[in-house]
């Protein structure tokens, strides 16, 4: 342990601050998840992977689920940066909402960490953590909020929407599409569902704004 929010890291003599310590522990947890899955992820395994003692892990994460939530938050931050950068029509709310959701679920296939987190073994735990966590809702809204604000100011979204709840709701839809039975349905069916039943709930009502 170090002083003033700083800790010695493994065998290194340099001190790292709290933010860097959390980042290193989350990175270690990601590696353990890919190698062993959620059922075999333990605080001991993460400490060993990060080359620190257990007490260092517990300083920042009080439990195994908190470690997994840390991985989820890192995934959200990295994923949303990628998804927003993929939008081809960011000034068109109706088209972009569909693309946001389709790009989000498209990040899972081919990514070892995301594939593990949404595998049959892990999906229910990860989904439960995401849906219950206000920190996850905040993380999504940090990225989506400015875009939603702009669309609403332009009259492209309903004026009565709570935008933070809209960010949460969009993540909920993405999680739905990543679970059964939707996970095995073709992308065309998922896109049709979003276009028919999700997008209309966000758009202004005709003649009412």
- Helices H / strands E in the chain, number of each: 10, 2
Q: How many domains does the chain have?
A: 2
End of a domain among 12, 45, 62? 62
CA distance 69 to 59: 15
End of a domain among 47, 62, 77? 62
Average pLDDT, the chain: 91
pTM for this model (two decimals): 0.87
Same-domain pairing of 58 and 83: no
pLDDT for the residue numbered 10: 62
Same-domain pairing of 75 and 177: yes
Same-domain pairing of 73 and 27: no
CA distance 94 to 11: 52
CA distance 29 to 64: 10
Q: Which of 147, 3, 133, 19 is nearest to 76 (CA)?
A: 133
Same-domain pairing of 51 and 74: no
Radius of gyration of the chain, Cα coordinates, nearest whole angstrom = 19
* DSSP, res 204: P
* 205 pLDDT higher than 90: no
CA distance 156 to 104: 21
pLDDT for the residue numbered 133: 95
* 70 pLDDT higher than 80: yes
Same-domain pairing of 82 and 46: no
pLDDT tens digits for range 2-45: 445 565 666 554 557 889 999 999 999 999 999 999 989 999 99
pLDDT tens digits for range 84-142: 999 999 999 999 999 999 999 999 999 999 999 999 989 999 999 999 999 999 999 99
pLDDT for the residue numbered 16: 75
* 145 pLDDT higher than 70: yes
Name the residue range of residue 45's domain: 1-62
Q: What is the CATH number of the domain that holds 161?
A: 1.10.357
And the tokens for 174?
Answer: 């993405």
CB atoms within 10 A of CB 91: 12
pLDDT for the residue numbered 7: 59
Torsion 27-177-140-138 (CA) sign: negative
pLDDT tens digits for range 152-168: 999 999 999 999 999 99
Same-domain pairing of 116 and 32: no
CA distance 186 to 104: 15
């Amino acid at each position: 342990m170090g002083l003033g929010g700083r800790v010695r890291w493994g065998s290194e003599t340099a001190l790292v601050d709290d933010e860097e310590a959390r980042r290193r522990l989350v990175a270690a947890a990601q590696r353990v998840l890919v190698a062993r899955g959620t059922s075999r992820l333990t605080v001991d395994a993460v400490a060993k992977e990060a080359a620190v003692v257990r007490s260092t892990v517990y300083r920042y994460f009080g439990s195994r689920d908190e470690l997994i939530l840390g991985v989820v938050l890192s995934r959200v931050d990295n994923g949303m940066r990628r998804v927003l950068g993929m939008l081809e029509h960011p000034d068109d709310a109706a088209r972009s909402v569909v693309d946001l959701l389709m790009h989000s679920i498209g990040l899972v296939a081919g990514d070892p960490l995301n594939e593990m987190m949404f595998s049959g073994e892990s999906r229910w735990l990860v989904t439960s953590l995401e849906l219950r966590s206000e920190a996850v809702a905040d993380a999504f809204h940090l990225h989506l909020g400015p875009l939603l604000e702009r669309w609403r100011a332009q009259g492209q979204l309903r004026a009565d929407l709570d935008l933070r709840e809209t960010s949460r709701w969009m993540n909920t839809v993405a999680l739905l599409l990543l679970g059964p039975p939707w996970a095995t349905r073709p992308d065309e069916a998922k896109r049709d569902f979003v276009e028919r039943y999700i997008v209309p709930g966000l758009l202004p009502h005709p003649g009412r704004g």
